Amino acid sequence: MANLPDKDQLLKIAEHLKPFIHRTPVFTSSSLNKLAGCRLYFKCESFQKTGSFKLRGAMNAILNLRNDAVEKGVVTHSSGNFAAALAYAASRIGAKAAIVMPENVIPSKRDAVLSYGANIIYSGNNPLDREKKCEQVISETGSSFIHPSNDINVILGHSSCAIELISDSETLDAVIAPVGGGGLISGIALGFKHFSPRTQIIGGEPLNADDAYQSLKAGKIIPQIDPKTIADGLRTSLGDVTFPIIKDHLSEIIRVSEDDIINAMKLIWERLKIVAEPSGAVAFAALLNNSSVFNNKKIGIIISGGNIDTSALSF
Amino acid sequence: MANLPDKDQLLKIAEHLKPFIHRTPVFTSSSLNKLAGCRLYFKCESFQKTGSFKLRGAMNAILNLRNDAVEKGVVTHSSGNFAAALAYAASRIGAKAAIVMPENVIPSKRDAVLSYGANIIYSGNNPLDREKKCEQVISETGSSFIHPSNDINVILGHSSCAIELISDSETLDAVIAPVGGGGLISGIALGFKHFSPRTQIIGGEPLNADDAYQSLKAGKIIPQIDPKTIADGLRTSLGDVTFPIIKDHLSEIIRVSEDDIINAMKLIWERLKIVAEPSGAVAFAALLNNSSVFNNKKIGIIISGGNIDTSALSF
């Protein structure tokens, strides 16, 4: 952990990102405060460009490429929000991006990537296939691999989300963010560590994809294989960059059921009138599951994204 | 029409309303601009207090009560957004509100009204029953009846929405608002008439509830009886206050199918990441149905509300 940047470096990263990202709004709701018994600050990354927080990390990774690397382009594997984010981030500096996606990708996610001018390379539908495909692209083109979460530049980009939230809310007793690969919460943890050290960092994780909870308990990374949860952004596992940060900085991980996630998502839609995707509702679900602990406290909730497949809606 | 207020009076009304309402945001989206071939300004009344534009009119009507009328309270019939709006507006000045609602009202709408401290009086499920119930309340309590749309103070309250939109966008070639009872579009028309007279005023109406279209064609009010449309806020008919304003100020009414409404609603959810209710998507549906006419123009779209029944969602 000796190499983690200091306060000034985090501020510099956030400043550097500004022209490329939205400063997303912080929403409050008296009806949800009443329901939860505490004062909530929702950081709405659903309104981030490309529809999720992922752009912060993707953009920072892209801005950190050396000139010769920019020419050769970037590659990642993702069927979700990081795919669109990296495609968009690369387009902003005119770099080529290759995105390895499974053949059964949701058409709207595929179209988003294509609309940013990235190249899609279809792999099979399992993780081994896509990793092999990535290696093949790298060996053929010399492009740089950017991992969706387990990459220090990606994590540092996400810390800009914490810096904005700290500046746009009261001093928080706790902040809750969803945990998938752990990139978001690692960035949030580093931001709060420097700029609001008394705020507890809490993870929200689907019970059906609780590798971070299990890993923390075991003291080592326990990856999950093909977990089933509606929170499709949280099916990935921690890595060797995110695990140590999470181990050092999180107070706890709160696990939530599928019903908890759906209930929290519907409340966000109904009361805040904004669209959160299932993964984006997991932090709020974690709060609701333990609201007595947070009674009368000031809590930040990261709504991580708002990309939904409307064809799945019953209209 | 001789009694309609002038510019200064409209500004005064808008100013008077300010402490009681939100100045709702105007959203833009480069992806929707590209899709529609024009430059769109979405006025998001979904973020208005109580979840719809209705508060503007309800609040203005309440603020215009004489002192003795305030003591006796107000009554209306509504199973939807005006019910919550009037209940909330009355609570802001400590007046009693009685809301006549059908017995089969959606529980979430009932709960919203109750949460603002209003008294619900259940009528049967048809319009005649509820009107009789309203008359009964009025004769027993002396309370003032406030119609959800066909009331000049309600209409004038809605003009504040136009004033905000005009100030927060470029000069618009046209503004499109949904038409139910006609209260919203009448207020919008009066606001634009005074502050942006070159902007065309266009109504969006469900094909399945096209009484305004039929009334304009016939030159007289042709009420509709129990129309079937997913846009539940637009099932009511024009009245003797709204019809003349609409006749004088609207360029046209564009009718949209149920599929058009659903498609537009899903696009708003997916691209703007905000929750519009079906009625709230009708103006955008009208634009998409005729987008070639609006090519390269600057168009205001009123997203009238965001109150949805999440129990109807397939999660």
Distance (Å, rounded) from C-alpha B202 to C-alpha A73?
48
Q: Residue B127's pLDDT is what?
A: 76
Q: pLDDT band at A62, cuts 50/70/90? A: very high
Verify whether the Cβ–Cβ distance B315 to A230 is below 8 Å.
yes
Same domain, B141 and B201: no
Chain A residue at shortest CA distance from B312: A314
Q: Tell me which DSSP letter residue A143 carries.
A: P
Predicted local distance difference test score (pLDDT) of residue A72 = 95
Residues A164 and A294 in one domain: yes
HSE toward the beta carbon, residue B206, CA cutoff 13 A: 25
Q: How confident is the model at residue B109 (pLDDT cuts 50, 70, 90)?
A: confident
The proportion of chain B whose per-residue pLDDT surpasses 90, expressed as a percent, equals 88
One domain, residues B160 and B250: yes
CA closest to B276 among chain A residues: A273
Q: Is B312 in Cβ contact with A270 (below 8 Å)?
A: no
- pLDDT exceeding 70 applies to what percent of chain B? 99
Residue B125 pLDDT class (50, 70, 90 cuts): confident
- pLDDT per residue over B226-236, tens digit each? 899 999 999 99
Final residue before a domain boundary, out of B145, B172, B189: B145
For residue A263, the number of C-alpha atoms closer than 13 Å in the C-beta half-sphere is 11
Q: Are residues B89 and B176 located together in one domain of the fold?
A: no
Does any domain span residue B262?
yes
For the segment A120-132, the average pLDDT, to the nearest whole number, is 86
Å between A180 CA and nearest CA of chain B: 21
**For residue A102, what pLDDT is reported?**
87
Helix or strand holding residue B51 (H, E): none
Q: Which pLDDT score is estimated for A196?
A: 98
pLDDT given for residue A61 in this prediction? 98
Q: Is A226 exposed, middle or buried (0-12, 13-18, 19+ CB in 10 A)?
A: exposed
Q: Do A212 and A294 have their domain in common?
A: yes
CATH code for the domain in which residue A255 is found: 3.40.50.1100
Asked whether the beta carbons of A233 and A178 are under 8 A apart, the reply is: yes
The SS3 assignment for B200 reads: strand
Question: Domain tally for chain B?
Answer: 2
Q: What does the pLDDT look like over A278-296, one tens digit per residue?
A: 999 999 999 999 989 999 9
> Over the stretch B271-291, which tens digit does the pLDDT of each residue have?
999 999 999 999 999 999 998
Range scoring the smallest mean pLDDT among A97-101, A121-125, B215-219: A121-125
Element (H, E) at B49: none
pLDDT digits (tens, 9 = 90+) for A134-148: 999 999 999 999 999
Report pLDDT for B104. Answer: 82
Q: How confident is the model at residue B142 (pLDDT cuts 50, 70, 90)?
A: very high
Q: Which member of A230, A266, A310 has the closest CB to residue B269?
A: A310
Answer whether residue B37 is part of any domain.
Answer: yes
Nearest CA in chain B to A30: B49
**Structural domain contains residue B43:** yes
Q: What is the pLDDT of residue B311?
A: 81
In this model, does residue B309 exceed pLDDT 60?
yes
Q: Which residue of A has its CA nearest to B303?
A: A273
Closest CA of chain A from B258, distance in Å: 10
Give a yes or no: residue A216 inside a domain.
yes
Confidence of residue A3 (pLDDT cuts 50, 70, 90): confident
Alpha helices in chain A (DSSP H): 7-17, 30-36, 54-63, 67-72, 81-92, 107-115, 127-141, 152-168, 183-195, 211-218, 242-249, 258-267, 282-289
Residue B2 lies in a domain: no
Q: Report CB contact under 8 Å: B313, A313.
A: yes
Shared-domain flag, residues A158 and A278: yes
Q: Which pLDDT does position A176 carry in this prediction?
A: 98
Instruction: Enter the tokens of residue A112.
Output: 């988003």
B22 and B37 share a domain? yes
Instruction: Express each pLDDT in B9-42 by its tens digit.
Output: 999 999 999 999 999 999 999 999 999 999 999 9
Residue B296: per-residue pLDDT? 96
DSSP B254-311: EEE-HHHHHHHHHHIIIII-B---TGGGHHHHHHHHTTTTTTT-EEEEEE-B----GG
Mean pLDDT of all residues in A230-234:
93
Round to whole Å and give the CA distance between A53 and A50: 8
Within this chain, do residues B104 and B38 fall inside the same structural domain, yes or no? no
Q: Which of A106, A125, A145 represents a domain boundary (last residue)?
A: A145
pLDDT at A238: 96
Q: How confident is the model at residue A304 (pLDDT cuts 50, 70, 90)?
A: very high
The whole domain housing A268 covers 7-52+151-312
Grade residue B108 by pLDDT with cuts at 50, 70 and 90.
Answer: confident
**How far apart, in whole angstroms, are the C-alpha atoms of residue B119 and residue B251?**
40
Q: What is the pLDDT of residue A103?
A: 86
- The answer to whether B224 and B211 have CB atoms below 8 angstroms apart is yes
pLDDT in tens, B146-165: 999 999 999 999 999 999 99
pLDDT bracket for residue B251 (50, 70, 90) = very high
Cβ separation B314–A313 shorter than 8 A:
yes
Which amino acid, one-letter code, is at B58? Answer: A
Q: Do both A299 and A190 map to the same domain?
A: yes
Residues A195 and A69 in one domain: no
**Interface-testing mutation among B35, B273, B308, with chain A (most A C-beta atoms within 10 A):** B273
| pLDDT band per the 50, 70, 90 thresholds, residue B105 | confident
Least confident of A40-44, A80-84, B108-112: B108-112
Q: Which of B36, B61, B57 is nearest to B48 (CA)?
A: B57
Burial of A289 (0-12, 13-18, 19+ CB in 10 A): middle
Taking residues A60-86, what's their average pLDDT?
A: 95
Asked whether residue A2 is domain-assigned, the answer is no
Q: Judging by DSSP bridges, how do beta strands B39-44 and B26-27 pair with one another?
A: antiparallel
Query: What's the confidence (pLDDT) of residue A160?
Result: 98
Asked whether residue A1 is assigned to any structural domain, the reply reads no
pLDDT band at B177 (very low <50, low <70, confident <90, very high): very high
Size of interface A-B (CB pairs under 8 A): 52
Whether B168 is covered by a domain: the verdict is: yes
Task: For residue range A102-123, list pLDDT tens digits in order.
Answer: 888 888 889 989 999 999 999 9
Q: Where a domain ends, among B110, B145, B180?
A: B145
Distance separating alpha carbons of residues B66 and A245, to the nearest angstrom: 64
Q: Across the interface, do B270 and A108 touch by the CB < 8 Å criterion?
A: yes
Residues B176 and B202 in one domain: yes
Instruction: Say if residue A33 is in the same domain as residue A104.
Output: no
Question: How far is residue B105's CA from residue B78's CA, in Å, rounded to a whole number?
Answer: 10
